Amino acid sequence: MDFRPGEVILAPLAGYTHSPFRKLLRRLGADRTWTELVSADMILRKGLSDPLLRFTPEERPLVIQLFGNDPEKIYRAGELVAQELKPDGLDLNLGCSVRKVASRGAGAGLLRDLARLSACAEALVSAGKAHGIPVSAKIRLGWDRDILGKIAERLLAAGVSAIVLHPRLAVEGFSGRARWERIRDLVTLFGREIPVIGNGDVLTWRDIGRLFQETGCHAVMVGRAALKNPWIFEEYHKKQPLPKDVTARAAFALELLEEMGVFFRPETAGKKIKAFLAQLFKGIPGKRTFLPDLLTAPDYRSLTSRLKKLRS
Ligand SMILES: Cc1cc2nc3c(=O)[nH]c(=O)nc-3n(C[C@H](O)[C@H](O)[C@H](O)COP(=O)(O)O)c2cc1C
């Protein structure tokens, strides 16, 4: 995959990294964006009209992530997406451990069935190949034990063009710590054959540099930290912290709300942005004086005016 060495990528975060958010984050220095996981079955049932699959050119390079557990369905959904939407990459989700996904043998559920994992990866790779679109896989270390080497061998044999590693077990969820040393091990083992993208527990822009340095990974992917600090990419590129006071945060939220109002309809945007606002203002001194007011705003218009007051 044509990941430039040193890229810093916005991770898929279901419910947060929709098209408007990706667009603003590209402007704020994310080198590449990723959709949240989209069900191959859903695509085959409903077609490509779901907002999860919509994107604008400004979000490119953009990777569309699929999940599923039936190789044939993954192939057909992948083909349709590749042909009609022409993303810059397709990605197979092998890391999602939420019950709804994993208990059906999809996402991280595939880490328990390596034969099926191979078949699903091969299916998506051949769907991508037919349209010149590279295919990556986003993995964890294993389901309940670390079988990283085996997973990586399978993926390489299937022909994937890059591996994103969040180095925790699926059963760990987000507990414990991301074991960056396993990213380094993957680079040592396979880094000459395939770009390895390191992910997990980057909290500040300095951590991005540390992850590159400590593991030798090809690119870094940042998830949760981008919700609390959307400027983290720019800070890393400029190697300095940027102003992130309440005013700056309110200005960002307003811009996002406006974009979301156009993309989703104002009524939906006003509701959907609240989970993000809780993240954006988490740990900010004085948030008790204004956050409840934002989170209880009854509609788009009142939320807009409350954010404007906060910005000024
Ligand atoms: C709310 C939330 C939603 C997520 N959604 C996805 C997803 O759709 N696809 C995926 O591969 N990973 C998903 N992840 C995992 C992240 O992409 C990332 O691998 C993980 O959060 C570790 O990186 P971080 O420590 O930088 O957040 C999600 C994580 C969170 C917290």
pTM of the model: 0.98
Q: Are residues 83 and 194 in the same domain?
A: yes
CB < 8 Å & 24+ apart, contacts of 297-303: 297/270, 299/266, 299/267, 299/270, 300/257, 300/261, 300/266, 300/267, 300/269, 300/270, 301/266, 303/257, 303/270, 303/273
**Per the domain annotation, does 274 fall within a domain?**
yes
Both 256 and 187 in one domain: the answer is no
Give the pLDDT band (50/70/90) at residue 1. low
Q: Which residue's CA is the nearest one to ligand 1's atom 21?
A: 223
**Is residue 116 within 8 Å of residue 105, measured between CB atoms?**
yes
Mean pLDDT taken over the chain: 97
Q: Give the end of a domain, one of 197, 216, 238.
A: 238
Residue 157 lies in a domain: yes
Tell me the pLDDT band of 197, cut-offs 50, 70 and 90: very high
Range of the domain at 178: 7-238
- Please indicate, yes or no, whether residues 280 and 145 belong to a single structural domain of this protein: no
pLDDT band at 269 (very low <50, low <70, confident <90, very high): very high
Catalytic one of 96, 163, 178, 211? 96
Out of 221, 238, 255, a domain closes at 238
Tens of pLDDT along 73-116? 999 999 999 999 999 999 999 999 999 999 999 999 999 999 99
295 confidence band (pLDDT: 50, 70, 90):
very high
* Res 173 pLDDT > 90: yes
CA of 308 to the centre of ligand 1 (A): 30
Of ligand 1's atoms, which has the minimum distance to the CA of residue 35?
Answer: 8
Rounded Cα–Cα distance for residues 252 and 239 (Å):
21
pLDDT, tens digit (0-9, with 9 covering 90-100), for 215-259: 999 999 999 999 999 999 999 999 999 999 999 999 999 999 999
Is residue 208 situated within a structural domain?
A: yes
Residue range 139-159: average pLDDT? 98
Residue 93 Cβ < 6 Å to ligand 1: yes
In the prediction, which pLDDT does 87 show?
98
> Is 96 in the active site?
yes
pLDDT for the residue 312: 87
Report the domain count for the chain.
Answer: 2
pLDDT for position 107: 98
Q: Which atom of ligand 1 is nearest to the CA of 11?
A: 17
User: 145 with 292, same domain?
Assistant: no
Are β-strands 62-67 and 33-34 bridged in parallel, bridged antiparallel, or unpaired?
parallel
Q: Considering the domain boundaries, does residue 73 fall inside one?
A: yes
Query: Given a cut of 80, is residue 26 above it in pLDDT?
Result: yes
